[in-house]
Structure 1
Amino acid sequence: MANEKARENMKGSGGVTYSQAGEGYFEKRQLKRTAGFWGLWGIGVAAVISGDFSGWNFGIGEAGWGGLAIASVVIIVMYFGMLFSIGEMSAAMPHTGGAYSFARAAMGPWGGFVTGFAETIEYVFTTAVIVYFSASYADAVTSELFGLSMPSWVWWIILYAVFVGLNAVGAEVSFKFAITVAVISIGILMLFAVMAVVNGAVDFSRLFDIAADPNAAGSSTFLPFGVLGILYALPFAIWFFLGIEELPLAAEESHNPSKDIPRAGIWGLITLIATGSIVFFLNPAVTGAEALGASDEPLLDGFRAFLPAGWAAALSGFALIGLLASLQGIMYAYARNMYSLSRAGYYPKPLSLTGSRQTPYVALITGAVIGFVALLIVNFNEGAGDVVLYIAVWGAVLAYGLQMISFVLLRRKFPNARRPWVSPTGNAGAIVALFIAGLAFVGVLLNPDYQIAIIAIIVFYVIGLLVFGFYGRHRLVLSPEEEYAVTGGLHGFDPEAEGLGGTIEDEILKGHTD
């Protein structure tokens, strides 16, 4: 019955063509189960925590401290609704596809591609943003301590090379590293808080030192750039948490994904709310909101405010660990995202090769090259940090919205599918998250300062859709994500237990034609 349903679904699946994977195809694309709850918590927190060290503060420049505060509360509501929904879908579909997998089952191959591609943009460009900020921090530290300064592009090459190598070593190393640096990063933020208070450097009146713009509607001391500034601040509030939703990508490397991924995501978000609150309230209270609004290294500026230069640089060297934690975690995410889309044939199939260490090393290298080239291009035209951040956030909010639509559709389309974990907020949580993601999407589009980011995104999507339309959709393979979708959730739930290719592939493809 599952195979008959699969063939019916494939006939109306948007003009795509499936073919036999071929002997040894999946054997060359294997991942290794190494992660428990703490490994997942670590990779989730590590991937995001750099947002506490750089990037979030640009939201103050757009909306003032009060505007960013309102935007952050709204975004926290969105993330809870979204993580509850993603938790249910990831428990029902514990394979590496993540957002692509959810959308593929709910909206067909084209929906799966559009969503998966948005997530590729999100993670590849988030990695580039973190490389950019890490280079800024690293150069500031080495300049102050050793008088050594290097061009940004040299730092970018070093950082990409080191962390591609670290991720290629193996998932077990990646998860252990993530736990370690996540804990260290949390400790650094707590140290900053204690030292700022002990040194008497905290003055909360500095949160409102930005003069109100008389031309902005609704401007005040609390909202110096008016109500519209809140909308513009939403993408930067997202930066506090962007990446925690990556955990479903670790499904095939987790021992108990249906149980641990939802729990790790929620507890990871709670952890990030706590750490984000430290810098949000104390960092601008030390430096002043106006001074912080355009800084590439806000935490370093915070240390500089109450410590001698050498001490500040040394402590910020430890702060660099937080950025490097996210560099490793987000690089892990883009590699698994590209791996899953490649394994299914949406992207060129060599991207999913894993080698003897069972890590998608081709995807790791490819994402690094794309990110490096993007930094060079954007930096040549104007400052790279906030522009590339905007590209990353746009990809994120598009993927978020499509995943929430997928959640609602899947509950209707696959009512009998196994759901080991169920969202406590149901459709209501997904709809609220969808609405807020839509607001953030509009905020990206309307901000005139980031038109170059919008143009870049349009170009990426035109190229991506053309390649998929003319090439990729005719070369799809029944990966676990595809099997789950075409069988209505009756096969592909557990790739390890059910197997890949072979008999099931022969039966599903029997009689399937263009």
Structure 2
Amino acid sequence: MAHEPAGGRQVKGTGGVTYAHAGAEYFEKRGLRRHAGAWSLWALGVAAVISGDFSGWNLGIGEAGWGGMLIATIAIGLMYLLMIYSIAEMSATMPHTGGAYSFARSAMGPWGGFVTGLAETIEYVITTAVVGTFAGLYADAITEDLFGFTMPLWLWVVGFYVVFVGLNSAGAEASFRFAVVITIISLSVLAFFFISAIVSGRVDFANLWNIEPEAGGSTFLPMGIGGVLAALPFAIWFFLGIEELPLAAEETHTPQRDIPRGSLMGMWTLLASAFLVLLLNPAVLGAEEIGSSGEPILDGFRAIFPDSNIASLLSLFALAGLVASFQGIMFAAGRNMYSLSRAGYYPKPLSLTGGRKVPYVALVVSAVIGVVLVFGLGAIRNEPGETLSDAQVAVAGQLLNIAVFGAVISYFLQMVAFLMLRRSYADVARPYTSPAGRWGAIVAAVISGLTLIVLPFNESYRSVVVGVAAFFVAGLLYFALFGRHRLVLSPEEEFAVTHGKHGHPETEGYDVTEQILEEGDPEAAPR
């Protein structure tokens, strides 16, 4: 039975925010259903990232040479591993859907939580649109090559969105099962490439050093130390998205155990695949050749199987990598918007879940935003002599740079939150503790902070700083004028305002703190 508001009761919190009464009926319309275990989470995390092994990372070799890209990948891989250890601890302590927003909310208050959550929204909504765009390009090239069939890019992308919004809206079980299947297919394609490269005798490690050094450079670092810094954003593509798994906390049977396990299994899988791709793909093609390739794995297959149709057929399976990431990042975009909406930071209808207990409104809205960004901005940008498709692809590339900015901002703030929570929530139960501790979070924060500083020095990233700033200004204005007056005591907010005493939906359910407040318990007053 819903608890009716007592005269429209509102409660003031810190940071100039106000909590409105919601009641049990509010949360019944926003419920989720538990399905996942550690292996389902592993598949979801790897699926979200795996497209980065198929393309994009290789452009870092063009910026730094193979040696520079190796150093950049080691640094970024270390950052992600230490960050995942820290995130695993926080997600086990705060097992609710909010993820990064939730961690920062408890550590830094409502404004810190909102900024961190907004950074993740930028990352996931835009990355989904960009991956969908490149999947559309890829699919059209395949169908034209094999069947002589082609479609406009916008039709491919809208088609992908319709199919995968439908899949994600069918329920958590369908989403996780698809993630398992598509992840196994994607990893099998990579494994086949690794084995084929070695068995074929096409691997030549001398190819790693075929870039002519610039002045002051060397065979190992042909572009010098500056090249290493320029390669950092491209190394991120090997791992971008693995941090999303805490967003599945309320759809996991035992989140305190399974989210750390699934996250770390996924991270080690991605580390292994990244370094095998980095070693073998350039050894087959050559560092100079791979540095500008649009499809490095397929170019590798073409080198291994010359004068054969097998590369064209394998391209069908290689598309699985892009499809996997499209579905995985879409899942994260929906849950991120859902959690911020349920707490009142975003408009509340975005968190409605319907009979299948899936945030279908958030999924649809994130899809609409993605399509409008890529194709709306593409149409605006369309210049004389440039095809509409080329304009849309150029916009997608710029948007991906914005997504990387959002991701790195979120990473830095999450590591700051970890350090603050270790101090201010020292007495809260931690079912999982990061073996890297505070120093691991400090190292991850330093690397993410350095990457954030380096990004504007890359000309392609410098041009999108205004875009990133525009997103944040619009978000902050909305929160300052509207959102902060309409917050709700969702599990994430419950945990923060009660200093960890409540906010555990897997054991308490929802609406606990509101009931306590109605009974006049001062310990439940928002902080």
Q: Same fold (TM over 0.5)?
A: yes
Higher deviation after alignment, 478-487 or 448-457: 448-457
> Which residue of the partner structure matches residue 400 of structure 2?
389
SS at match of 2:15: coil
> Which residue of the partner structure matches residue 7 of structure 1?
none
> Which residue of the partner structure matches residue 458 of structure 1?
469
> Which residue of the partner structure matches residue 283 of structure 2?
285
Distance 1:58 1:389, change over 3 A: farther
> Which residue of the partner structure matches residue 5 of structure 1?
none
The alignment's C-alpha RMSD in Å is 2.0
> Which residue of the partner structure matches residue 321 of structure 1?
320
Q: Distance in 2 between matches of 1:320 and 1:58?
A: 19
* Structure 1 unaligned blocks of 5 or more: 1-9
> Which residue of the partner structure matches residue 342 of structure 2?
343
* Residue deviations 1:182-241 (CA, integer Å, cap 9, x gap): 111111101011222333322222222222233xxx422222222112112111111101
Determine which of 419, 422, 426 is the counterpart of 2:430. Answer: 419
Q: Distance in 2 between matches of 1:63 and 1:57?
A: 10
> Which residue of the partner structure matches residue 413 of structure 2?
402
1:52 is matched by which residue type in structure 2? D
* Residue deviations 1:405-455 (CA, integer Å, cap 9, x gap): 001111111121111111111110000000000111112122122233222
Tell which has more relative contact order, 1 or 2 (C-alpha 8 A, sep 6+). Answer: 1
1:334 is matched by which residue type in structure 2? A
* Residue deviations 1:3-57 (CA, integer Å, cap 9, x gap): xxxxxxx756110111011462111101000001111111111111111112211
Distance 1:495 1:255, change over 3 A: closer
> Which residue of the partner structure matches residue 515 of structure 2?
503
> Which residue of the partner structure matches residue 109 of structure 2?
108
Q: How far did 1:388 drift?
A: 2.6
1:310 is matched by which residue type in structure 2? N
SS at match of 1:383: helix
> Which residue of the partner structure matches residue 50 of structure 2?
49
Determine which of 252, 255, 269 is the counterpart of 2:253. Answer: 255
Q: How far did 1:150 drift?
A: 2.6
Q: How far did 1:498 drift?
A: 4.0
* Structure 2 unaligned blocks of 5 or more: 1-10, 379-389
1:328 is matched by which residue type in structure 2? Q
Distance 1:381 1:367, change over 3 A: closer
SS at match of 1:223: coil
Q: How far did 1:158 drift?
A: 1.4
Q: Distance in 2 between matches of 1:63 and 1:154?
A: 37
> Which residue of the partner structure matches residue 77 of structure 2?
76
Higher deviation after alignment, 77-86 or 193-202: 193-202
Determine which of 470, 477, 483 is the counterpart of 1:472. Answer: 483
* Preserved contact between residue 351 and residue 360 of structure 1 (Cα < 8 Å): yes
Q: How far did 1:301 drift?
A: 1.7
1:483 aligns with 2:479: no
Higher deviation after alignment, 306-315 or 477-486: 306-315
Q: Distance in 1 between matches of 2:374 and 2:233?
A: 19
1:24 aligns with 2:25: yes
Q: How far did 1:505 drift?
A: 5.3
> Which residue of the partner structure matches residue 311 of structure 1?
310
1:94 aligns with 2:95: yes
Q: How far did 1:117 drift?
A: 0.5
Q: Distance in 2 between matches of 1:129 and 1:95?
A: 28
> Which residue of the partner structure matches residue 161 of structure 2?
160
> Which residue of the partner structure matches residue 33 of structure 1?
34
Q: Distance in 2 between matches of 1:444 and 1:89?
A: 28
SS at match of 1:18: strand
1:276 aligns with 2:287: no
Q: Distance in 2 between matches of 1:157 and 1:509?
A: 51
Q: Distance in 2 between matches of 1:433 and 1:317?
A: 37
SS at match of 2:222: coil
Q: Distance in 2 between matches of 1:508 and 1:56?
A: 56
1:319 is matched by which residue type in structure 2? A
TM value normalised by structure 2 = 0.91
Distance 1:357 1:112, change over 3 A: same
SS at match of 2:25: coil
Higher deviation after alignment, 109-118 or 444-453: 444-453
2:329 is matched by which residue type in structure 1? I
Q: Distance in 1 between matches of 2:301 and 2:72?
A: 26
Q: Distance in 1 between matches of 2:475 and 2:86?
A: 27
* Preserved contact between residue 100 and residue 112 of structure 1 (Cα < 8 Å): yes
Q: Distance in 1 between matches of 2:366 and 2:499?
A: 32
Distance 1:136 1:309, change over 3 A: farther
> Which residue of the partner structure matches residue 223 of structure 1?
221
* Preserved contact between residue 63 and residue 223 of structure 2 (Cα < 8 Å): yes
Q: Distance in 2 between matches of 1:279 and 1:111?
A: 37
SS at match of 2:18: coil
Higher deviation after alignment, 277-286 or 34-43: 277-286
Q: Distance in 2 between matches of 1:442 and 1:513?
A: 36
Q: Distance in 1 between matches of 2:224 and 2:331?
A: 39
Distance 1:508 1:417, change over 3 A: farther
Distance 1:370 1:153, change over 3 A: same
Aligned length: 502
Q: Distance in 1 between matches of 2:324 and 2:117?
A: 24
* Identity level (%): 58
